[in-house]
Structure 1
């Protein structure tokens, strides 16, 4: 962990904060300037031959699972929580603010990808640089290339963050 391989990142090692569960199926490589934070309710599973380049960020309050032979480019972040809830105007209900992440076997995430709660990817997929993943892509065949245009409007109205009632209770 923390090996200096990307010259544009200082060799600051890896910040490791773990109150939850971590499983290593085999060898795991995490590059320099990376940070891992796993809460008491979090669980992370690293498949065999996991590789993350420099400045990898990982946050788990629920569950994150990486299949075998997953490779992650620099400046990527994987989070299974939003750290807040969103309230929907139409019915006043809110989402739970977290959900498990599962990255399929043989996936490659290009640099600066952001993987958010409830993401599921099929095996042997490539995620293009600077993509944001936030749902299941299991309807795609293996060996697909996944990418998202960051300028798409996701919801025009009827949704907001209630800063006064924003606490998540993890199960």
Structure 2
């Protein structure tokens, strides 16, 4: 799209069959040594940032927008877009959905099948729908996969 930016820092890889969709003036930034497996979908209306040394499994969907507009009963229009930030050395399991406005801290793990609707603190494991913290104090043994 017009004025959109895809920023690849270093040696990142995007698997076959992945779909990257950027709206006008949108930015998608991938950190160094990040790997996105096949079948991932990243839809960007404003901005999605993914840090260094992240592992994103297959069939993961990341969206920074509702991608449709609607009006509430009181006449207000909810915020359509909100940035998604994924920190460094984050592991995201297969079939995960990450929604607008989420920040995932460094060294976090998102279990397979989770729906992430709220921020994930650094060094935690989250799982479920909606995703909830199931473990704290996670530290990488070898942060480079």
If the TM-score is normalised by the length of the shorter chain, which range does it land in?
0.7 to 0.9
Q: 2:48 aligns with which of 57, 64, 69?
A: 64
Map 1:29-40 → 2, pairs under 5 A: 29-40=13-24
Number of aligned residue pairs: give it.
130
- How far is the alpha carbon of 1:96 from its aligned partner? 1.8
Deviations 1:45-87 (A, max 9, x none): 1001110111011111100000111110100011111112343
- How far is the alpha carbon of 1:28 from its aligned partner? 1.2
Does 2:9 correspond to 1:25?
yes
Instruction: Tell me which residue corresponds to 2:32.
Output: 48
Does the 8 Å CA contact 1:38/1:59 hold for their aligned counterparts? yes
Instruction: Tell me which residue corresponds to 1:109.
Output: 92
Ranges in structure 1 where 5+ consecutive residues have no aligned partner: 1-16, 151-171
Does the 8 Å CA contact 1:18/1:38 hold for their aligned counterparts? no
Deviations 1:104-123 (A, max 9, x none): 11000000001111010110
Distance 1:18 1:46 in 2: 20
Q: So what's the TM-score if we normalise by structure 2?
A: 0.82
Ranges in structure 2 where 5+ consecutive residues have no aligned partner: 131-145
After superposition, the CA RMSD in angstroms is 1.7
